[in-house]
Amino acid sequence: MASIDECVNGFPLPMSKLGGGIAERAAEDFTSPLTKDVGCHLERILRLGDKTPPPLSGSDSVVRYHGNPRMQLADAVVMVTGGTGGLGSRICHAFASQGARVAVVYHSRTDVARDLAHELAKKAGASDSLAIQSDVTRAEQVAELVDRVVQHWGRIDVLVNNAAFNQGVPFQNLDALTPELWQTIMSFNATGPFLTARAVAPLMRRQGCGRIVNIGSVSGYKPGGSSIAYAVSKAALAHLTRCLALALAPEVLVNCVAPGLMEGTVMTERMLPEQRERGRAEAVLNRTVDKDDVADQVVTLARSDSTTGQNVIIDAGRFFH
């Protein structure tokens, strides 16, 4: 179990001098099933008192804290939707390398998901891993997904909304962009992240600490990408990120990583050839985006204790946002 002293920074507070029974309740709270292993919950414990205690001096064992706890990723529970995709699997590996417990959420590729979960736990450094099927566009399945993760590990510390859908449709061909296709793209790319965030938010608030990282696209910042519906859905996700950051502060930090064109992903394979070529040609670095760069940025945002409501573009130099 991570020590309380490891989880946050700020001024020292000896546990022995916490008044009004807070020390006893804090000790109980840090050994409960909901909060064991990851020490990022002091702020919630301190709110049990009537007021924030002043800094005290002395050589006692101390708790250090400030406004927002710092996320410790070793043994943290990380839920990655779209976990079997080209980018999703790299995100899972990035968190596994930090010693996290990784829930690989997938839509249909059961064998791939199970193999990935086994690899994460046995070879990639994850302290544990689990493959779970879910359609993130359906609220009842999202609720079941969250329940299963909590039943298995007792908590959720990080949600990565990576599941998405696209289909190449020329912007000029509005007839080909049917209402059914529009709704499917919007459901996966905007409604799905809302449903998962809505489902984990109460839990993260009770924990006193949580991180949500959405995976957007540069298509949300300029008309472009695989279709009008895809561009609009990613623009919606960018603003949903800002709105959730406001709604869930201060306990939960919400950010978005918006990649440009990446090789080896289903999203890129479904683009029209001319759309892919335009994405390559516009990058000043003369190459596509490295998926591991994107995954590393997701981990950085999950670890941050002072960044929220931000959309980080990684596009090899296409949009200087």
Q: Would you please indicate which residues are annotated as catalytic (active-site) residues? A: 230
**Tokens standing for residue 199:** 């489902």
- The residue written with tokens 């990446």 in the block is 262
Q: Could you tell me the CA-to-CA distances from 202 to 32, 80, 157, 198 in Å, in that order?
A: 18, 18, 12, 8
Who's near 79: CB < 8 A, 6+ residues apart? 103, 105, 145, 146, 149, 156, 158, 159, 160, 196, 200
> Which residue type sits at 209?
C
Distance between CA atoms of 196 and 194, rounded to whole angstroms?
Answer: 6
Q: Could you tell me the CA-to-CA distances from 238 to 30, 107, 156, 231, 294 in Å, in that order?
A: 35, 23, 23, 11, 16
Who's near 217: CB < 8 A, 6+ residues apart? 225, 230, 231, 234, 258, 259, 260, 267
Distance between CA atoms of 53 and 56, rounded to whole angstroms?
Answer: 9
Buried b (16+ CB within 10 A) or exposed e, 243-254: ebbeebeebbbb
